[in-house]
Amino acid sequence: MSAPEKRLAELGLNVPEVPKPVAVYVPAVACGDLVFTSGQLPMKNGELMLTGKVGGEVAPEEAKEAAQQCALNAIAAVKSIVGDLDRVAQIVKVVVFVASTPDFTGQPQVANGASELLGQVFGDAGIHARSAVGVPVLPLDSPVEVEVIVRVGQ
């Protein structure tokens, strides 16, 4: 078991199965020493955790938990490419899309669900650049979507 997987276990979490794409794409692609994940929805056990807009039907804390699940799914997508999560040298960039009401401005706090988990799991290698973007709608009416760029080593 890799060190990141041990840290996940200490948090009571594990690397899930890679969610099946909802359209024609793959969960992640390697290019040189980088792995780019596709946007990951908060899928858990094959189903979307919740739907709706943050600031409307979805509370910010619920959305933060959904962002954490998206990050878990991104970790699974990365593992499907690199095999061993110990190969992750750096989480380079995280982009978090938050489907929110026009007056909601807490996208950074929602995105912290993904960022905090990546920091806990990868330590210093989990420190990353990030964008948190409010959008009117996401696939399947998901409240959040997360994509990650990872640099891998040997």
Q: What's the pLDDT score for residue 154?
A: 76
Task: Check residue 121 and give its pLDDT.
Answer: 97
pLDDT single digits (tens) 98-113: 999 999 999 999 999 9
Of 14-23, 26-35, 91-100, 137-146, the poorest mean pLDDT is in: 14-23
* Region 9-34 average pLDDT: 95
Domain count for the chain? 1
Torsion of CA 63, 52, 75, 72, to 10 degrees: 50
CATH code for the domain in which residue 15 is found? 3.30.1330.40
The mean pLDDT of 137-146, rounded to a whole number, is 98
Q: Are strands 129-135 and 47-48 parallel, antiparallel or unpaired?
A: unpaired
Q: Angle 7-68-98 (CA atoms, 0-180°, nearest 5)?
A: 155
| In contact, 62 and 50? CB cutoff 8 Å | yes
Dig out the tokens for 104 from the structure.
Answer: 């909601």
The stretches of the chain forming alpha helices (DSSP H) are 3-10, 60-82, 107-122
Q: Give residue 17's domain range.
A: 3-152
With a cut of 90, say whether residue 5 has pLDDT above it: yes
- The helix/strand/coil state of 140 is helix
- Half-sphere exposure in the Cβ direction for 58 (13 Å, CA): 26
Question: How many residues are listed for the chain in this entry?
Answer: 154
Which residues are bridge partners to 29 per DSSP?
36
Of 61 and 154, the structure prediction assigns the larger pLDDT to 61
pTM above 0.85, yes or no: yes
